[in-house]
Amino acid sequence: MKKNKFNQAWMHQHINDPYVKLAQREGYRARAAYKLKEIDEEDKLIRPGMVVVDLGSTPGSWSQVVREKITKSGDLNGRIIALDLLEMDPIAGVEFIQGDFREDDVLDRLAQTLGASPVDLVLSDMAPNLSGIASVDAARIIHVCELALEFAQSHLQKNGALLVKCFHGAGFDEMMKQFRLTFKEVRTRKPKASRDKSSEIFILGRGLK
């Protein structure tokens, strides 16, 4: 009964969420589009000509935003490679790989798809399945962030950037420390489209050391 009440409350909040309504109106697949749009407005991350990797891409709203930003005169100027464990409906011009980013063979497929292209921007909206056990979930979240950081270290060009979703809690300070060891510039961002009750925060690193 309690779970049903929670689900009903969540559905009510979701349906009445202004960002959900805006996403439906503007053709984005999820409200998460506005998180990236807001961060990009502040930090000017996405430009035509870029090679962008979108980790944890499904349903595709971040890839949609990137596609808009790198399209000039109707033509895609750049590359978008998206990856997720779940299926993603096609987006014109977006190269999609379905697989678990934590598995080596999936990382190899991603590297093969990139070929010799140095990456300008890595985006990670990945979030593992949560158990409800705080210590376990914190470890899972940090692990996913670490994998994104390792990938960025291997594939980013010198002036590239990495934006990852993280959460306040155990391991967050250590994650920030790793970012500061890796990047010349590190910032945190909490866009307005992040739900107030959510502890999610985005870490942005720019320029490899």
Q: Confirm whether residue 171 is marked as ligand binding.
A: no
User: Has residue 6 got a pLDDT over 70?
Assistant: no
Give the chain's mean pLDDT.
90
Average pLDDT score over residue span 68-73:
91
Ligand-binding annotation for 100, yes or no, is yes
Q: What are the tens digits of pLDDT across the range 98-130?
A: 999 989 999 999 999 999 889 999 999 998 877
Position 10 scores a pLDDT of: 43
Q: How much of the chain exceeds pLDDT 90, in percent?
A: 74
pLDDT at 2: 44
Assess whether pLDDT exceeds 90 at residue 71. Answer: yes
Position 203 confidence tier, pLDDT thresholds 50, 70, 90 = very high
Determine if residue 84 is labeled as part of a ligand binding site: yes
Q: Is the peptide bond before 59 cis (omega within 30 degrees of 0)?
A: yes
Query: Above 70 in pLDDT, residue 1?
Result: no
Contact 130, 92 (CB under 8 A): no
Rounded to 5°, the CA angle 121-149-36 comes to 45
Counting residues of the chain whose pLDDT is more than 70, the rounded percentage is: 93
* Active site (catalytic) residues: 165
Residue 199: predicted pLDDT: 84
Residue type, 30: A
Question: How crowded is residue 193: how many other Cβ atoms within 10 Å of its Cβ?
Answer: 19
Q: Are 140 and 128 in contact (CB under 8 A)?
A: yes
Q: According to the model, what pLDDT value does residue 117 have?
A: 87
Average pLDDT in the 63-84 region? 95
Residues facing residue 203 across a β-bridge:
164, 188
- To the question of whether residue 62 is assigned a binding role by annotation, the answer is yes
d(CA 125, CA 135) in angstroms, rounded, equals: 21
Which range (8-17, 84-93, 124-133, 200-209) has the least confidence?
8-17
Task: Indicate if the pLDDT at residue 15 is higher than 70.
Answer: no
Lowest mean pLDDT segment, chosen from 4-18, 144-158, 181-195: 4-18
Question: How far, in Å, CA of 65 to CA of 70, rounded?
Answer: 9
Q: How far apart are CA 170 and CA 142, in angstroms?
A: 9
Token pair for 65: 């935003």
Q: Which residues sit opposite 7 in a β-bridge?
A: none
Q: Is 120 annotated as a binding residue?
A: no
**Domains with residue ranges and CATH for the chain:** 30-208 (3.40.50.150)
